[in-house]
Structure 1
Amino acid sequence: MGSLGKGTGQRLKAEDRKLQIIDVASLLISQRGYWGISIRDIALQCGITDTAILHHFGTKEHMLLAIIEKRDEDDRQAFADELGVKREDLYSAIPQIELEDVCAAIVKRNAKQPEIVRLYALLSAEALQPNHPVHDYFAKREQQVINTFASAKSEISMAPQARGRLLLSLMDGVQLRWLRDIANVDLIAEWKVASSFLF
């Protein structure tokens, strides 16, 4: 994650400023949730005005969508890298890859970014509310993850969609335990133990 904290007064290029805002907002949301922060909180940390943030994103809701879209694309690229496939071939390659390897790649990536995993855990829970700005986005995102697990090669004797839901539930649960005690829990080791009942 990029440098946080109050700005130095240095003018940044528009794209660099947007990335700074995304980094700062991601961290604050991962700590307090979407409803727990304001545009003002983010602006203060960036050393800019509320108006400057609205200039780049329009609204707080649009800023949140920009954060999620940026983080998701970063994760898709990292996921493809972990699996050794091109980004553009990621989803077409999944049916040729063992499910265990697909899951291991996700867990390995997530183990390197606890703040982002915390961000998604908080937003996923908040977004259960129908009026949340990323309610629909998270519903579609969750189904995409389930479909990814369902389409990978597997000998687990379970309907693909049911298998996908079970694996996502297991992964979410292991990650929550890890987030509560990062200093003492090894996410990758915990996942290997938890998933050994399936693989």
Structure 2
Amino acid sequence: MRRAEIVGAAIRLVGARGYYGMTVQMLAESCNLTKAGWLHYFASKDDMLAELLDELERRDTALLAPIVTAGMAGDAAAKRAALMTLLDTIITRFIDCPDIGRFALVLQGEAIDPDHPAHARFRDREAVALQVYATLLTPTSPRPALTARMLHALMTGLAQQWLRAARTFDLLATWREASEAMLPGARPPPTEPHLRHD
């Protein structure tokens, strides 16, 4: 339980101050621990970051991998629908867990620096994500790699705007409308309820 509290505090502090702006002393104090007490749970700040990113990646894989697997096994329409389900799920999770979303966005910005401890992880993870998106788009898009990059940028940009606007607009509805403008008909139309005639 104590470790989960420390992880939650780290997510909030990184989201507020960035990784470089956060110290072990701040982390310890936010959990009512001494610095020595905090170091009982993690060997260093870098080790904590690595463990935290590993855990978040495990959660992402559990949530998103089944969508990708099902899409890859389907036809062209199923692949395209799976991509939109995948991206809608990422946006929905961002809305449901804004602390984790803010953490990820702030850390991604910092990790543009090649010397940042998370630089290689974010670079490699983004490359994998773009490849997955492009593969799901390939049967139906003339430029799948470019479209994948544009969708990724749209999703990230809207998430940043939503946080800056203090969550005052409907992120999911805005994302769906904007992505539908980019890829008309990508999502299957909603099914109409069947009316019963007695």
Q: Smaller-chain TM-score range?
A: 0.7 to 0.9
Comparing 132-141 with 108-117, greater Cα deviation is found at 108-117
Preserved CA contact (<8 Å) 1:150 1:161: yes
Shift in Å at residue 156 of structure 1? 4.5
Preserved CA contact (<8 Å) 1:175 1:187: yes
For residues 160 and 104 of structure 2, the distance between their equivalents in structure 1, rounded to whole angstroms, comes to 11
Residue 64 to residue 144, structure 1, CA distance change in 2 (3 Å):
same
Matched with 1:55 is 40
- Give runs of aligned pairs for residues 37-56 of structure 1, distance below 5 A: 37-56=22-41
In structure 1, stretches of 5+ residues that fail to align are 1-15
Residue 57 to residue 111, structure 1, CA distance change in 2 (3 Å):
same
Give a deviation string over 1:9-57, Cα, whole Å, max 9, x none.
xxxxxxx332221111011110111011100111011111212322322
For residues 69 and 176 of structure 2, the distance between their equivalents in structure 1, rounded to whole angstroms, comes to 26
Whether 1:182 aligns to 2:159 is no
Matched with 2:190 is none
Matched with 1:158 is 142
Preserved CA contact (<8 Å) 1:156 1:198: no
Shift in Å at residue 178 of structure 1? 0.7
Whether 1:107 aligns to 2:84 is no
For residues 154 and 106 of structure 1, the distance between their equivalents in structure 2, rounded to whole angstroms, comes to 21
Shift in Å at residue 158 of structure 1? 3.3
Whether 1:27 aligns to 2:12 is yes
For residues 58 and 34 of structure 2, the distance between their equivalents in structure 1, rounded to whole angstroms, comes to 28
Matched with 1:173 is 157
SS in 2 for 1:152: helix
For residues 148 and 53 of structure 1, the distance between their equivalents in structure 2, rounded to whole angstroms, comes to 38
Give a deviation string over 1:64-120, Cα, whole Å, max 9, x none.
11111112222332335xxxx4xxxx5433423422222112212211111111111
In structure 2, stretches of 5+ residues that fail to align are 184-198
Equivalent of 2:110 in 122, 126, 138: 126
TM-score of the two chains, using structure 1 as the length reference: 0.80
Query: Which has more radius of gyration?
Result: 2
Preserved CA contact (<8 Å) 1:18 1:56: yes
Whether 1:70 aligns to 2:55 is yes
Residue 137 to residue 175, structure 1, CA distance change in 2 (3 Å):
same
Preserved CA contact (<8 Å) 1:24 1:46: yes
Matched with 2:70 is 93
Preserved CA contact (<8 Å) 2:68 2:86: no
For residues 158 and 106 of structure 1, the distance between their equivalents in structure 2, rounded to whole angstroms, comes to 25
- Identity, in percent, stands at 30
- The residue type paired with residue 34 of structure 2 is T
